[in-house]
Amino acid sequence: MPETLPPAVDLFDVERLQLTEEEEPRLSPSDEAARDRVWEKAVQANPALFDGPVVACAGLEHTDLVLRLSWVRVTYRHYALRRVPGATALPSLFVNVLQPTDDGRVLVARMSSSTAAPSRWQLPGGSVEPPQAGEGLGESDLAGQAARELFEELGVDADAEVLRLWAVTRGENGSVGLTYRAPALSEPAVRAAFAAAAAAERAQGREPELDDIALVSAPRELEYLSGPHADYLEPLVRRFADQLER
Nearest 10 degrees: CA dihedral of 136, 117, 106, 101? 80
The answer to whether the CB of 164 falls within 8 A of the CB of 184 is: no
Residue 105 has what pLDDT? 97
Q: Model confidence over 56-87: pLDDT tens digits?
A: 999 999 998 999 999 999 999 999 999 999 99
Residue 172 has what pLDDT? 85
Residue 4 has what pLDDT? 47
> Sheet of 125-127: strands edge to edge?
3-5, 9-12, 164-170, 176-181, 93-98, 125-127
CATH code of the domain covering residue 80: 3.90.79.10
Burial class (CB in 10 A: 0-12, 13-18, 19+), 214: middle
Residue 7 has what pLDDT? 56
Residue 148 has what pLDDT? 96
Residue 114 has what pLDDT? 79
Q: Model confidence over 223-244: pLDDT tens digits?
A: 999 999 999 999 999 999 999 8
pTM higher than the cut 0.85: yes
Question: Rounded distance, CA 236 to CA 166, Å?
Answer: 10
Half-sphere exposure of 177 toward its Cβ, with a 13 Å CA cutoff?
A: 27
Q: Which domain holds residue 201?
A: 3-245
Question: Rounded distance, CA 140 to CA 135, Å?
Answer: 13
Residue 162 has what pLDDT? 96
Question: Rounded distance, CA 232 to CA 220, Å?
Answer: 14
Neighbours of 82 (CB within 10 A): 16
- Among 27, 25, 9, 128, residue whose Cα is nearest residue 84: 27
Residue 2 has what pLDDT? 56
Handedness of CA 43, 46, 52, 58 (dihedral sign): negative
Print pLDDT tens along the chain (246 aa): 455 444 579 999 998 999 999 999 999 999 999 999 999 999 998 888 889 999 999 999 999 899 999 999 999 999 999 999 999 999 999 999 999 999 999 999 999 987 878 899 999 999 999 999 888 899 999 999 999 999 999 999 999 999 999 999 999 889 999 999 999 999 999 999 999 999 999 999 989 999 999 999 999 999 999 999 999 999 999 999 999 877
Domain tally for the chain? Answer: 1
Residue 116 has what pLDDT? 77
Question: Rounded distance, CA 92 to CA 80, Å?
Answer: 12
